[in-house]
Structure 1
């Protein structure tokens, strides 16, 4: 999943109303767990995507003396640094009902 599509998500932390976070689960702690797990999924996806793009620049004979700066590689890295953090994306998805989650212990009751 590329976060490029999430242009409406802020790049910095914003103040949240905690009452908004527990609307879907009726439990703030459960909401935080859902958001945390989704943030981890997003972070892994973005890391794999970045590593795939940077792998194109890898060479087999790199050593400390032969390392040189590659402008395209630097631009790719800067692009990923400017993207919203995975936790902010996960909060946005949670608040906009874009995350499917379930609690098996509640389903048994």
Structure 2
């Protein structure tokens, strides 16, 4: 049985408001649009990779991120999530919230961010 195509939700990957860039929640989707297979570390790495791609497409880097919100499906995923998060972000770390809940997609993590990127 084949997986149905992923329908794009009605949102923008990012929106600017002055010097702030708001990045929509990124799921661990691969290039084919499907959720990557693997544990929460694999999924976190993919979601953060997707987030960084949107950030870089808007002229930013991880150093510009001031706030991150992450959703995990299980609090036991917290350590693995944190380990991967620390591979991508460094001190001073962005302010952050982590919420444990069900996700709309069949994934274990979703991550959004806000970045400060001063306009020239």
Higher relative contact order (CA 8 A, sep 6+): 1
TM-score (norm 2): 0.24
Report which of the two has the higher share of strand.
2
Larger Rg: 1
Greater helix percent: which structure?
Answer: 1
